Structure 1
């Protein structure tokens, strides 16, 4: 792998992680608006439950 290929791969990975984090925060904000009584910890759990369900659906 050329150095520029490695740099491009690292840049794409960083972008993917940033987009994922933004998606997570938007998802939690939507849940918080719909369910203001939920704690941040519960919002986080709901997000990961949804992600797990999506992943399992892809494999089935």
Structure 2
């Protein structure tokens, strides 16, 4: 749902120009802003996913949840 929201906010042309990491960071920020809706396991899984995608893109600094 977050990917669709992002697409609708920026439009097709802009959305296609974003990298996978940029798209996934948008989703991550949406999840984090609604963190009470998610279990710890779901947040941990999402955190692992975004950090994997960041590493693939050459970003070595992991995101950490406090």
Query: Shorter-chain TM-score: what band?
Result: 0.3 to 0.5
Name which one, 1 or 2, has greater alpha-carbon Rg.
1
TM-score by length of 1: 0.40
TM-score by length of 2: 0.37
Looking at secondary structure, tell me which structure has more helix per residue: 1
Higher relative contact order (CA 8 A, sep 6+): 2
